[in-house]
Amino acid sequence: MRALVTGGAGFIGSHLIDRLISRGDKVVVLDNLTSGKIEFIQGHIDSGLVTLIEGDITIFEDVLNAMNGIDCVFHLAANPDIRLGTKITDTDLKQGTIATYNIVESMRRCEVKKIVFASSSVVYGENAPMPTPENHGPCMPISLYGASKQAGEGLISSWVGTFGLQAWIFRFANIIGHRGTHGVIFDFIHKLKADPSRLEVLGNGLQEKSYMEVGDCVEGILHVMEKSNDSLNLYNLGSHDTASVKRIAEIVVEETNCLDAKIEYTGGDRGWAGDIPRAMLGIDKMLSTGYDVRYSSEEAIRHTAKCLIEEIGL
């Protein structure tokens, strides 16, 4: 198979490519290298198995030019910073919604039929039942990032219904691990590196979410794709439990060995406007395909802390 991975030089994308290459696929990467890093995939580029197109998913021609000879698109590229929407309101519209339009429209024109889309638990919005099943409704996202993921899902489902695309939409829990370029663990390590005596935590620390190790995530994607073949396949991908931000702070303090760091909470029930305080995906549908994760939320967090401390350095 010849796969196009948007955001392929990024965190999840580069792990997915490791797996695609190991099973014998050819991969084209479309990435603008703003948050992705070429070193994540340099080995594969050097071995000739990955072709990097440095281009922007917000530019229609860049997307169209990457679509030549592709069998399946893994559309992972997006603004990775959920909080940014509180300050700049058109980033998710452009890099999320309009970019996804560029993807599906290019696929239509080039007769590429299969797409995998990285959606998110944040499409469920606030106050959903926990764990949240795929058939929860109504989905009313409270972040601009969540709105763009929902819009992306809708664009894809409408291209399925109108133009015969086949799609796998995955709503991800918080994906963490090796090569992480953002997120709470990444932030905490950087804060402790700058000042080992204190760790500022946004909110009251009681925010509680489900975390999934990135290897478990990409393995889950490929497993579910093998086991499902509807025109539109929708799956939550997550782990069996949750962890609080307080617990993450404690683990990062332990793993960085900043044992004297004072953990300080800014207060309030959430990290920022549009943050969802509590989230846990229902994963029965994923489990029913015969796939299960290796890491619990806490295990994934500790593993990620170790990996990122090594990558970031203290």
Of 19-27, 155-163, 256-264, 287-295, the window that binds a second copy (rule: CB under 8 A) is 155-163
Q: Is 93 in the site for a second copy (CB under 8 A)?
A: yes
**Window 169-228: residues binding a second copy (CB under 8 A):** none
Q: Is 22 a residue that touches a second copy (CB under 8 A)?
A: no
Nearer to a second copy, 10 or 238 (CB): 238
Tokens 């090569």 belong to which residue? 179
Closest approach, Cβ 159 to a second copy, in A, equals: 8
Out of 4, 16, 98, 251, the only residue in the binding site for a second copy (CB under 8 A) is 98
Q: Establish if 62 lies at the interface with a second copy (CB under 8 A).
A: no
Binding mask 260-279 for a second copy (x = CB under 8 A): -------------xx-----
Contact segment (CB under 8 A) with a second copy among 1-9, 91-99, 245-253, 281-289 equals 91-99
Nearest-angstrom CA–CA distance, 215 and 176 = 9
Residues in CB range of 291: below 8 A, 6 or more apart: 219, 220, 223, 224, 227
State which residue, 3 or 103, has the beta carbon closest to a second copy. Answer: 103
Pick the closest to residue 105 from 52, 146, 165, 148 (CA basis). 165
Segment near a second copy (CB under 8 A); pick from 12-20, 35-43, 48-56, 83-91: 83-91
Would you count residue 232 as binding a second copy (CB under 8 A)?
A: yes
- Output the CA torsion sign for 208, 150, 217, 312: negative
Can you give the C-alpha Rg of the chain in angstroms? Answer: 19
Considering only residues 109-148, where is the footprint of a second copy by CB under 8 A?
123, 125-126, 134-144, 146-148
Of 160, 184, 280, 309, the one binding a second copy by CB under 8 A? 160
Amino acid at 67: M
243 is a contact residue toward a second copy (CB under 8 A): no
CA distance readout (Å), 145 to 94, 117, 150: 11, 14, 9
Cα angle: 189, vertex 264, 191; to 5 degrees: 20
Q: In what order do the strands lie in the sheet with 208-209?
A: 243-244, 208-209, 278-279
Which residues have CB under 8 Å from 279's CB, separation 6+? Answer: 121, 122, 124, 128, 130, 132, 173, 208, 209, 210, 242
* Alpha helices for 118-169 (secondary structure H): 144-163
List the end-to-end C-alpha distance of the chain, in Å, as a whole number.
41
Question: 246 to each of 32, 123, 232, 296, 298, how far by Cα in Å?
Answer: 35, 24, 38, 17, 12
Q: Which of 62, 81, 105, 299 touches a second copy (CB under 8 A)?
A: 105
Size of the site for a second copy (CB under 8 A): 42
Confirm or reject binding of residue 157 to a second copy (CB under 8 A): yes
Between residues 137 and 313, which has the closer beta carbon with respect to a second copy?
Answer: 137
- The binding site for a second copy (CB under 8 A) comprises 85-86, 89-90, 93, 97-98, 101, 105, 108, 123, 125-126, 134-144, 146-148, 150-151, 153-155, 157-158, 160-163, 232, 234, 273-274
